[in-house]
Structure formats: C-alpha cells, structure tokens
Structure 1
Amino acid sequence: MKFLPLIIANIKRKKIRTVLTLGSFAVSLFLFGLLVTIDAAFYQGLEVAGVDRLIVSNKTSLIMPLPVSYKERLRQIPGVEDVTYASWFGGIYQDEKNFFPQFAIDTETWLGLYPEFIIPEQQWQAFEKDRQGAIVGRKTMKRFKWKVGDRIPLQATIYRGIWEFNICGVYNGTRKADDLTQFWFHHKYLDENTPFEKGYVGWYTVKVKDPDQAAQVSRAIDDRFANSPFETKTDTEKAFTAGFVKQFGNIKLILLSVGAVVFFTLLLITGSNMGISVRERTNEIAILKTVGFTDQKVVFLILLESTLYALVGGGLGLGLCKLFTLAGDPTGGLLPLFYLAADRIALGVGIAFLVGVTAGFIPALFAMKLKIVDAMRRV
C-alpha cells in the first residue's frame, strides 16, 4: 500500500492515455463477457441434458415424422423405462421476431420424462381438461406480459390458419440452466386440426432404466426399425443437442478466434503504452534507484501499475457486460439462457490480470536493467 501514491501519480501523469488504456480493457472485457455468454447460451442444453434420455427421430431428417404407433413398440424394447413424444409447431405471435419454441406434447407422459420442470398440480389438471389449453414457461409469460387465463392466438407457419390457446399454467425449472421459454399444448389438438398429419409425431424421447446401457438401447431401437418405411436415428439427449448446435456452424471456434484477436491487440496496446510511460520516466526511475529502490522493487512498481490498468478497466467492462445480460435475451428467443455466470466473470478477471502482467513485463525488464549513470545522461 505504501507504493500506491506513487503508482497513482504515474497514472495521473497522462490522463488521456490512462483513459484510453482503461477504455481498451473495458471494451475488450465487455466483448469477452458477451462472447462467453453467447457460447454458454448456445451450449446450454449440453449442460442440463438428461443422462437417462434418448432422442429418437427420423433417420432421413429431423423434419420428417415418425408414426405414433412407434410409442408402444419402443416401450417393448429391453432397457426402456418410459416414452413420450412431441412435434414442433412453429407459430408466430403478432410478429415474426417474437420467436419462442412451441411443442405439441403427449400430456399423459411428458412430465414423467422431464421431472426438472415444475408445474402446480391444479394448473396441470386444468390443462389436461382443456383441449385448447397451454402451459407456458415463466420467461415467455414475463416477456409478453401474459397471465393464466389469457387466450393467445398463434399464426401457424407449418400448418394453416390462426390457432387459439388458453393459458392454463406456468412452469418453472429446478436448475438455473433450464429452458423456461417453451410453449406446450395438446398433441391431440394438433391431430384434430391437421387430418393430413394425424397419426404422426415429430420425435420421441425415451427414458432408459440404466444410463450406462444408453448406447446398447440406442442400437436396439434403430435395429428394431431398420428397413422399415420410417427408419430411426437414436442419440443421447446430449449428442442430439450438440448436433443441433453444429447446424449453426462451429460457434466455439468463431468465438475463440475473435477473442484471441481482441486480446492479442489489447496486449500490444497496453505493452506499447507501458513502454512509452517507462521511457518518459527514465530519469525518475534512476532517482528511485539512487535513493535505495532495488531493481526488484522497480519491477514490482511497473508490473503493479500495468496490472492496475488491467483490473480496473477489465472490471469496468465485465460489470457493464453483467448489467447488459441482466436485461435478458437480446435476440428475442434464440438464446433463452442469456446470463454471465460468476465463473466466467472470474475467468475474465484472470485473463485481464495475465494480460496486465505480460504487457508490463518487457518495460519492467528495461527499467530493471537501466543503469543510474546512463539514465541521468538522458534528457
């Protein structure tokens, strides 16, 4: 702490340079926070995927259906504990930008496969009795300011016409990463209004008795329906989610590439500023050595100054990013889990510290090797 006044005096020497250096760190760490938040949002399903759940879809394509008769045949496969199914609806609420996932579900089995979703028993019973009923995630309810009892119209995109639903309840999750943006309604309601699709579902979710036997059960399912008109492709829920994310491209590689460029540039900027600052203070460094400051103390002062730039600027950037993410998903539904976690903030602080130390290392080395006589000769 006794060196702090000296460091603060050096920082105040060139106020514009100080502001620009802090700003560079703030912008870079804000971008870092945004990148890791987007990365976490894309891969959120991998973190919460059920280890005992398999996804069974059409082998040709996910958009191709499977017969509803497969439900009982799947139950008969050894190792299978329970089965449910769902279909994608793809409706529009008021505007095409108002995206949120909508699933027609098998109400009799859905909650048994997804125990992480919590719904008041009274609301679920009301939903089961209302063929036009719907259960909506808490985040979507809040987003559109809906309430239980509202009647909601959706413009169908895959199917035809305006579909109306009665909101019977709201579901919550038991984990922070659970998706609370979904909209569920009766698959029977979908069947009644789409005679040409009746008897088909989008995909099945299978619960296995023993997660360690998931691979064997997957092979057994695909073998059971091999060479049939509707062959299947079975993956663990984690593998299925990962495959879905890959359709957007290699998100992680893109984010890492952008992040690496940003921090390399930041390292050059900070190193250059510290180098200029040390050269401007050559005579002062010589005086410090004259009055008894050792080479190690001089190095420590310069590294501390560089690190202070990094931590203050980086902390400002991460703080602003945290405030930005608190506002929720800026994409309107594409990234339902949009928040900056504490471990990623800690990672950002660690990176800022590392950049600060690295950027100040060469100027500190120059100051350490500086001889008092040579420094006094300079103007």
Structure 2
Amino acid sequence: MFFLKYILRNLFRHKLRSVLTIVGVAVAVLAFGLLRTLVGLWYAGAEHASDTRLVTRNSISLVFPLPISYLDRIRGVPGVTSVSYGNWFGAYYKDQKNFFANYAIEPRGYLELYPELMLSPKEKNDFFLDRKGCIVGERLAKTYGWKVGDLITLKGTIFPGQWEFVLRGIYHGKEKATEERILLFHWSYLNEALRQTVPRRADQVGYFVVGVKKPELAPEVSMAIDSLFKNSLAETLTETEKAFHMSFVSMTEAIMVAIQIVSYMVIAIIMVVAANTMAMTARERISEYATLKTLGFKGGHLGGLIFGESVLISLSGGVVGVAATFPAAHWIEVELAQFFPYFSVSTETILLELLAALSVGVVSGIFPTWRGATIRIADGLKRIG
C-alpha cells in the first residue's frame, strides 16, 4: 500500500507532463484500435461467408460472362440443392458519387440461397411479381430516403441508359455483418432490354450461386461443375463463397498490410515518447533515489517505484483510449455508413489495445528503472545543492 501511495503521489508531480503523456498514449491506443477494426472489417465479408454456397464464374475473369444455358447442367450435379445467377450492374443514382452495389439477379432462387436478407412475405411476393421491381437494403434506403413504392432511376455504366425500377421491398440483415447497401432487381428485366438493344450480350450471366447440401461436399461439387465445361468456349472456376470474396480482398491486400504496419508504428512511436518522458523524470530524481537508498531502500524497491509509475501512466492512457474507442466507432458507423456495413470494435481489439498500452509502459520503464535501481549513493548526492 505504501508503494502504491508513493507511485500515485509521484504520478502528478509534473501534472502537464503526465497529462500529455497519458493523452499521447490514449491517442495512440485509439488509432491502433480503429485501424485494426478497419482491417478486420475489410475481411468481414469473407469471414461471414456461407460454407454451403459456391460461386461459379468464368475461369479467365469475372469480367467475362457465362451462358445462361449452363444453369440446368449445374443444377443436375449431385450434391447441388439450388442454383441462382446474377450480373454486376454497376449503375449509379443521379450522380456518379452516389455509387453503390447493384445486381441483376434471378429473384426466387437468389433469396432462397441468401436467407440472411430478411423481407416480409408481402414485399417478397410483390418483388417476385413485378419485373421492374427491386429491393434495397435498409441502410441504402435510409441514405437516399427511399420508401416502398418509390420510382428509382439508375444511370447505367456497363449497361448504358436510364434504368427505372419500382421499390417493392426494403430488406434488413439477419446479422449485423449482413450488407444492407445493395440494390437487387430482376435479371430478366435486364436481359429483355439487351435482346432489343445489344442482342450479342443477351442470355449471359456474370456468375452462378450454387447451394450444396453440406460443406464437406464443396470441393467435390466444385470439381464436378468445372469438369462439365472443361475445354468449352467459356470454362468455369467454382470456389467457395469465402474464396470468392478473398479474391477481391487480395487485390487490396498490400493496402491492408500497410495499414497494419502503420497501426504498430503508432505504438512504437508513443513508446519512444513515453521512454523519453520516463528517462527525463528519472534524471530529475536521481538525488531523491540516492537519499532513499541512504534511508534503507533497496535497488529493487526503487526499481518497483519507477517501473510502477511508468506502467500506471501507460495503462491510464490505455484505459482512456479504450473508453474513447466506442464513441469514435459509433461516429464512424453513423457518419460513414455508406462505406462500412457496421463498425463494431471486438473484444479481441479491446484486449490488444490494453496489451499495447501495457507494452508501452513496460518498454518505456526499463531504462529508467535500471538507472534508478543501480545509482550509487555518492553519485546521486553530488547533485544536491
């Protein structure tokens, strides 16, 4: 108890210095936690992918389409429970800055394969019956103030022209990680328009979504599907939904690695700053440490006082940083909803933040602790007067 009281008294002998050090550690811990959360969210789509869904695309690239005639052959593969298909549409709303994911899909099979997209029975039925109908996620609807029954006009890029849709339903995600910033509409609506304007692009899809009975069958079914179209004009590549998502994530993996490096560099920099602060404090108190030794304090006692002060300062900053993480994450989730489906800080990230703060305290306290514990009484007393 005596040592703790002594450490607390020393902690704010230089109030401004201690407060600035705590704030510095807090900012570093906050930045570390937010950057790690950002990296985690980048991989969230792959982590939450279903084990019983496969994606079949052109083996060359997703840019190249597949014939719709592949549908029945894929459906006949043993182990396949259902098949749907879709096209990336790539349109925007009113202005190019209003860009979001939009797909032309086969409605019934697609929604069966994605039960996490929650719609009321009426909305689902209205969507099925209206060929110009569309559904959107709840976040997307809130962003643009859309309501069921509204007429939505998108301007096409891959498929040029003005495309009109009637909003028939607003889905919400079954889980927090479910993407709610997507617009889905009938592939048949797109295909009919292509038959009239660009016949050579009609009757083609960008990908097939394949449901399998159980995850263990995924490799076998994937090989069976790809073997069906081997040596054809449009060979296929079938992979799990997780692998499909990871193929997109890998395109920006260098950026994610850079962000991770930056998060650790932030901690390294604050370690240097805190170490300098503690070293300065130790130099100023050399005569005090020598006096304490004359009173019977051992080197271990002094080392514990110095080291405890360093750890306590860093942990105080860590606690402040952790406390600030939650409102910061909430602000990002609200203000930047168009970029992130959610921005939730995990328990693992909180623990890593506290570990980072503890590491700062331990590392920055090593040299001052050694200096204070090994100071000779005569050398310390020379500084008095």
TM-score by length of 1: 0.92
Query: What is the Cα-based RMSD across aligned positions, in Å?
Result: 2.1
Letter in 2 for 1:163: W
1:359 to 353, 357, 364: 364
Q: Deviations over 1:284-323 (max 9, x none)?
A: 2233444454433332322222222222223333443432
> 154-163 or 14-23: which moved more?
14-23
Q: Which residue of 1 aligns with 2:222?
A: 218
Q: Which residue of 2 aligns with 1:26?
A: 26
Q: Does 1:340 align with 2:345?
A: yes
1:137 CA drift (Å): 1.2
Q: Does 1:101 align with 2:101?
A: yes
Contact 1:98 1:332 in 2 (8 A): no
Letter in 1 for 2:370: L
SS at match of 2:211: strand
Q: Which residue of 2 aligns with 1:169?
A: 169
Q: Does 1:242 align with 2:246?
A: yes
SS at match of 2:92: coil
1:58 CA drift (Å): 0.8
> 31-40 or 297-306: which moved more?
297-306
> 338-347 or 262-271: which moved more?
338-347
Q: Which residue of 1 aligns with 2:141?
A: 141
1:371 CA drift (Å): 3.3
Q: Does 1:280 align with 2:277?
A: no
> 281-290 or 360-369: which moved more?
281-290
Contact 1:99 1:333 in 2 (8 A): no
Cα distance in 1 for residues equivalent to 2:136 and 2:341:
14
Letter in 2 for 1:107: P
Cα distance in 2 for residues equivalent to 1:124 and 1:63:
30
Instruction: Give matches, 1:30-45, under 5 Å.
Output: 30-45=30-45
Q: Deviations over 1:260-285 (max 9, x none)?
A: 32222221111111111111111222
Q: Deviations over 1:193-213 (max 9, x none)?
A: 222332111101111123112
Cα distance in 2 for residues equivalent to 1:172 and 1:129:
20
Q: Which residue of 2 aligns with 1:111?
A: 111
Distance 1:219 1:25, change over 3 A: same
Contact 1:136 1:183 in 2 (8 A): yes
Contact 1:87 1:202 in 2 (8 A): yes
1:297 to 292, 296, 301: 301
Q: Which residue of 2 aligns with 1:60?
A: 60
Cα distance in 2 for residues equivalent to 1:329 and 1:36:
19
Q: Which runs of 5+ in 1 are unaligned?
A: none
1:313 to 304, 310, 317: 317
Letter in 2 for 1:199: D
Q: Which residue of 1 aligns with 2:127?
A: 127
SS at match of 2:166: strand
Q: Which residue of 2 aligns with 1:48?
A: 48
Cα distance in 2 for residues equivalent to 1:316 and 1:149:
48
SS at match of 1:90: coil
Cα distance in 1 for residues equivalent to 2:369 and 2:382:
20
Number of positions where the alignment pairs a residue of Structure 1 with one of Structure 2: 379
Q: Which residue of 2 aligns with 1:208?
A: 212
> 35-44 or 321-330: which moved more?
321-330
Q: Deviations over 1:143-167 (max 9, x none)?
A: 2232223222211111122222222
Q: Which runs of 5+ in 2 are unaligned?
A: none
- Aligned-residue sequence identity (percent) comes to 39
Cα distance in 2 for residues equivalent to 1:331 and 1:194:
36
Cα distance in 2 for residues equivalent to 1:95 and 1:6:
63
> 229-238 or 144-153: which moved more?
144-153
